């Protein structure tokens, strides 16, 4: 079992999925400002260059069409809940470049269903002390309010991180793993407490208004290489290093039986409440919220130049794990050269594989 914290300078074995031939590593020097590197006249060759296409892998194309077909139904009272088919974002701070997108799945596009996934990218603070949050939420399948629950989960965890961003940024730069894990666990539990409360307001069961939530915290400090993942629910956390994918999904133990009394070190069952008080929790006080149904996941890792870290919902994690052609093609595209631009990144995430038609939401971080 791999520990959830990677100390700088310690190289640990990691499971490799699909390897590709190594390509020259990208330069560690920062690229020129956009005014020098990107603002160039459009040549005739560029005008006639092919646009990024939505491609497929395998012998046969997937069943559904590669582009949107049917819009979700809406009425006068639910316009605030409409979500676009696709969102796309990006940023660059310090030594890393971010690309993020959320795309409605082929099946939902065909059936006229809304995108159940939600994506939030936000910066809190300024200068080297700034903290960037990427949140990916996946609404529960076959529930009417899945897209609303996913949006609420992103918004509420975003607000919680915003209120504690100064302390979080300091803890990440100082490598305080224990404070980070316990504090982020508490913020996540509160987010799920709000989801349960919202379900009660709507007269729904908690399972009908919930979402998986997976987040990245990235420091804007060029000297900080620590990348923090936390969340609840299925999905993927992968790292592309030296041309091969590593699955960094934290190990989650089997849930304990809540009806069974806790046991002490010698196996004796604990039956007394000793009324022992605990220290105030990090990142805000207040009573602890009940935990979500699924266990909390946490991992802090140290990036190297040339790494690409991929956080994604289950709609992309499943084909990355189950379709070797997709993992290999993404590794080939993302190992060499500079990070892709936004249109190219969107085309990469949309690489289609037969049998996988869910929403795809993914954030990738390229390290210089």
Which of 12, 1, 5 is closest to 301 using CA atoms?
Answer: 5
> Where is average pLDDT lowest: 46-60, 221-235, 301-315, 317-331?
46-60
Residue corresponding to tokens 């949140």 = 135
* Pair 155, 120: CB distance under 8 Å: yes
Summarize pLDDT for 112-123 with one digit per residue, the tens.
999 999 999 999
Domain limits, the chain: 81-249+289-367
Query: Which alpha helices (DSSP H) does the chain contain, by range?
Result: 34-37, 44-47, 106-111, 146-163, 165-174, 177-201, 314-322, 324-335, 342-349
Summarize pLDDT for 197-252 with one digit per residue, the tens.
999 999 999 999 999 999 999 999 999 999 999 999 999 999 999 999 999 999 87
Q: Phi first, then psi: give them for residue 367, nearest 5 degrees.
A: -100, 130
pLDDT of residue 325: 95
* Pair 119, 103: CB distance under 8 Å: no
CA 213 to chain centre: 8
Q: Phi first, then psi: give them for residue 215, nearest 5 degrees.
A: -135, 155
Give me the mean pLDDT over the 65-72 stretch. 87
pLDDT of residue 274: 35
Give me the mean pLDDT over the 17-41 stretch. 47
**Axis-axis angle for helices 146-163, 177-201 (nearest 10):** 140
Q: Which residues contact 195 (CB under 8 A, 6 or more apart)?
A: 149, 152, 153, 156, 206, 209, 210, 211
Which of 211, 191, 31 is closest to 116 using CA atoms?
Answer: 211
SS3 266: coil
Copy the structure tokens of residue 231.
């969340």
DSSP at 251: P
pLDDT of residue 63: 72
Q: What is the mean pLDDT of the chain?
A: 83
* Pair 239, 310: CB distance under 8 Å: yes
Q: Phi first, then psi: give them for residue 197, nearest 5 degrees.
A: -65, -40
User: What number of CA atoms fall less than 13 Å from residue 350's CA on the CB side?
Assistant: 24
CA distance linking residue 354 with residue 359, whole number of Å? 14
Copy the structure tokens of residue 284.
């805000």
Alpha-carbon separation of residue 81 from 115, 137, 193, 196, 208 (angstroms)? 11, 16, 21, 19, 16
pLDDT: which is higher, 248 or 336:
248
Summarize pLDDT for 128-151 with one digit per residue, the tens.
999 999 999 999 988 999 999 999
Copy the structure tokens of residue 206.
């908690």
310 forms beta bridges with: 238, 364
Give me the mean pLDDT over the 9-36 stretch. 45
CA distance linking residue 131 with residue 217, whole number of Å? 7
Which of 262, 367, 260, 245 is closest to 312 using CA atoms?
Answer: 245
- Taking each continuous run of H as one helix and of E as one strand, the counts in the chain are 9, 14
Q: Which CATH architecture has domain 81-249+289-367?
A: 4-Layer Sandwich (3.60)
């Amino acid at each position: 079992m791999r520990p959830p914290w990677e100390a700088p300078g310690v190289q640990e074995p990691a499971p490799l999925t699909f390897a590709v031939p190594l390509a020259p590593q990208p330069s560690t020097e920062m690229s020129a400002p956009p005014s020098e590197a990107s603002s160039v006249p459009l040549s005739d060759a560029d005008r006639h260059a092919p646009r990024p296409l939505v491609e497929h892998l395998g012998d046969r194309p997937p069943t559904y069409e590669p582009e949107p077909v049917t819009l979700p139904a809406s009425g006068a009272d639910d316009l605030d809940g409409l979500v676009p088919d696709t969102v796309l974002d990006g940023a660059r701070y310090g030594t890393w470049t971010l690309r993020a997108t959320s795309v409605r799945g082929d099946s939902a596009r065909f059936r006229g269903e809304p995108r159940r996934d939600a994506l939030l990218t936000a910066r809190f603070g300024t200068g080297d002390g700034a903290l960037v949050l990427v949140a990916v939420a996946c609404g529960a399948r076959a529930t009417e309010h899945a897209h609303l629950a996913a949006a609420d989960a992103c918004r509420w965890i975003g607000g919680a991180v915003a209120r504690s961003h100064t302390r979080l940024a300091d803890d990440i730069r100082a490598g305080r793993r224990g404070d980070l894990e316990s504090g982020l666990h508490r913020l996540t539990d509160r987010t799920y407490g709000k989801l349960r409360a919202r379900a009660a307001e709507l007269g729904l069961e908690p399972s009908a208004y919930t979402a998986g939530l997976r987040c990245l915290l990235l420091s804007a400090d060029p000297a900080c290489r620590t990348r923090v993942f936390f969340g609840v629910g299925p999905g993927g956390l992968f790292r592309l290093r030296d041309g091969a994918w590593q699955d960094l999904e934290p190990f989650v133990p089997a849930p304990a039986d809540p009806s069974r009394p806790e046991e002490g070190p010698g196996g004796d069952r604990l039956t007394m409440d000793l009324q022992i008080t605990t220290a105030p929790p990090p990142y805000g006080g207040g009573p602890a919220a009940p935990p979500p149904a699924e266990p909390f996941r946490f991992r802090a890792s140290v990036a190297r130049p040339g790494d690409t870290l991929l956080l994604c919902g289950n709609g992309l994690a499943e084909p990355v794990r189950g379709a070797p052609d997709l993992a290999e093609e993404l590794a080939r595209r993302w190992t060499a050269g500079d990070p892709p631009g936004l249109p190219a990144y969107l085309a990469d995430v949309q690489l289609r594989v037969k049998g996988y038609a869910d929403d795809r939401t993914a954030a990738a971080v390229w390290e210089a």
